[in-house]
Chains A and B, each alone.
Chain A
Amino acid sequence: MIRHLLHISHVSKHFGGNVAVSDVSFSVDEKQVFGLIGPNGAGKSTLFNCITGFFPASSGEVIFDNKKINALRPDEVCRLGMVRTWQRVKPLGSLTVLENVMIGAFSITSVTREAEAIARENLHAVGLMDYAGKLAGLLPIGLKKKLELARVLATHPKMLLLDEICGGLNPTETDIILEIIRGIRQKGATIVFIEHDMKAVTSICDRIVVLNSGEKLAEGTPEEITNNPDVIAAYLGGGHNA
């Protein structure tokens, strides 16, 4: 049976007079790969921050796994099984790659040896095993993105929110990351995916929501979205905000 794992209903976020997200609603089914796309400043990352508790939504409801999570702190959201990565990667710079991933693993175990085993497993899954002993701050960007992935995977999440995980990567690196994400999906996690790169999104997502200027512009399958004239206008210009 398919059920909604994440349900967002009429979520808005204001910063003073600025409306960053306005009345956005959608649902993500279990085991879906869900794309959240839109031009710069569309409110994608703000919406992630509202969902994961970094900025509470000004109004609306966020329901995860049948629980209302609007008022929860980020760490509580993580322990419920929803974890995010960051558009600007946040490695714990003076810790090693292995230790970074162990910190993710500590959310499901308190035993250091077990955390280390989980961490190694996930470093292996993203192909970072050779860098386990290196300082995380010294990795190049492509590997830092992989580290972000390994770290959130180590929390054994039900749902992953990936904020431009392919941003700043070259096509080869992007393909590697997409391959890892396909692997994660096969293991049964649900993924919400913010991305600029239309090709990456359409190749991997089951369903897509397009945001523009904080509002939901369209929702549908990748084909429906790529053929939607409003979306084309928002992306290619020709509209009022070119």
Chain B
Amino acid sequence: MKQFALIAMLAVIAAALPLFIGENPYITGIMISVLMMAALSSAWNILGGYAGQYSFGHAAYFGAGAYTTMILITLYNLNPIFCMAAGIVVACIIALITGSIVFRLRGHYFALASIAVAEIVRLSVLNFEFTGGAQGILLSDLSLWGLDLNSKNPFYYGMLLVLVVTLTITAWLRKSKTGFYLQAIREDQDAAASLGINISFYKNRALLISAALTSVLGSLYGLYIRFIDTSAVLDLRLSIEIILTAIIGGVGTLWGPVVGALLLVPLAEVLRSNLLGDALVKARLVSETSGMGLFLKENLAHAHVLVYGIITVLCILYLPKGIFGLFRRVK
């Protein structure tokens, strides 16, 4: 009950935030990214954190949502809600095919197969014609079914809603038979099976919940950016960022992925917009015209994945339960 109350309280605070920030598209954009990554990572966490099945291919479900929605809207101008539902169906079909084959195996096969499936989806989308191939899909209409795509606030609230739903499902899972069974599978599959747990059934259930939520986020992302291509929504890099956010925040905890996203997304933004390089130049630590200054300007902006990597290594070494695990230890 405590967790549900906390989710509701934070949701109300997050819902009120845009009122204080006003019309600042840059800040709103970053906040949307934080909410999206928090929700993506929380959805991944249901499968990876609770059931212990590390998916390295969640981009496939994100892309399934994004592509299904964008194709249906550009071709048939269907209601966005219907498109999202169709996206969920496509993502669940991919998940069911993957899960029903791979979850029979033990060990790391699911992790490997999830990469393979995501690559199959990416390469298929890249080579089919109806998906726009390498050109991607551009949505030129600026209003859809009464939704003003120029405004960012609807997407802020959309992402927030999916995050709240994901966290609520996670909090409910932790108190339910399914959640306990997933954790038993994570801890010891033989013990779990001997106690009456149908292992592949529960793994598939976790994968389906996770894939469906991820797909909705993909649909929202497509409508929000109004342009998608394989490098934006189906890339391995996206899958890795989802995992790193969860690991750094705290795998298998309710709030870990949210903490991870709150830290990493703004950090990535700082690196991407080269605020760090600019700060070094402004502080006169490096001259703008020197080799070092040019190097920073050219390259540091692309280094955010490297910084993620370094933080992950430090986390694994010093905070094996993630940043959220540290909070709990201090308490």
Contact = CB atoms under 8 A, between A and B. Distances in A.
Contact of B181 (A52, A74, A90, A103): A103
Contacts of A84: 194
A75 B197 contact: yes
B195 A83 contact: yes
Contacts of B176: 112
Contacts of B192: 92, 103
Interface stretch (A6-14, A94-102, A125-133): A94-102
A143 B112 CA distance: 38
A92 B183 contact: yes
Nearest to B187: A92
Contact of A86 (B183, B190, B197): B190
Interface residues of A, number: 29
Given A103-B180, A106-B180, A112-B177, A73 B198 contact: yes
Contacts of A107: 195-197
Contacts of B199: 75
Given A103-B181, A106-B181, A112-B176, A92 B193 contact: no
Contacts of B197: 75, 103, 107
A74 B193 contact: yes
B196 A112 contact: no
A84 B191 CA distance: 9
A182 interface: no
A103 B193 contact: no
B314 to A, nearest CB: 22
Contacts of A83: 194-196
Contact of A75 (B183, B187, B188, B193): B193
A110 interface: yes
- How many chain B residues sit at the interface, stated as a range, is 10 to 19
A15 to B, nearest CB: 17
A152 interface: yes
Contact of A106 (B177, B187, B194): B177
Most A Cβ at <10 Å: residue of B175, B183, B190, B194: B194
A95 B187 CA distance: 8
A155 interface: yes
B67 to A, nearest CB: 37
Nearest to B199: A75
B177 A90 contact: no
Interface in B174-223: 175-177, 180-181, 183-184, 187-188, 190-199
A92 B198 contact: no
A151 interface: yes
B184 A95 contact: yes
A85 to B, nearest CB: 8
A125 B188 CA distance: 24
Nearest to A85: B194
B179 to A, nearest CB: 9
A78 B187 contact: no
Given A94-B187, A95-B183, A103-B184, A78 B194 contact: yes
A79 interface: yes
A235 interface: no
B172 to A, nearest CB: 10
Given A86-B190, A90-B190, A90-B191, A102 B196 contact: no
Contact of A78 (B180, B181, B196): B196
A149 interface: no
Contacts of A115: 177, 180
A104 interface: yes
A152 B191 contact: no
A86 B196 contact: no
B41 to A, nearest CB: 20
B188 A90 contact: yes
Contacts of B193: 54, 73-75, 78
A188 interface: no
A164 to B, nearest CB: 15
A93 interface: yes
B316 to A, nearest CB: 17
Interface string B4-43: 0000000000000000000000000000000000000000
Contacts of A94: 183, 187
A42 B28 CA distance: 69
A152 B195 contact: yes
Nearest to B188: A90
Interface in B146-197: 175-177, 180-181, 183-184, 187-188, 190-197
A145 to B, nearest CB: 14
A54 B191 CA distance: 11
27 contacts: A52-B194, A54-B193, A74-B193, A75-B194, A78-B195, A79-B196, A83-B194, A83-B196, A90-B188, A92-B188, A93-B188, A95-B183, A95-B187, A99-B183, A102-B180, A103-B181, A104-B196, A106-B180, A106-B181, A106-B196, A107-B196, A110-B177, A112-B180, A151-B195, A152-B194, A152-B195, A155-B196
Given A90-B188, A99-B180, 9 more contacts: A73-B198, A76-B198, A78-B195, A83-B194, A83-B196, A93-B188, A95-B180, A112-B180, A155-B196
Interface of B: 175-177, 180-181, 183-184, 187-188, 190-199
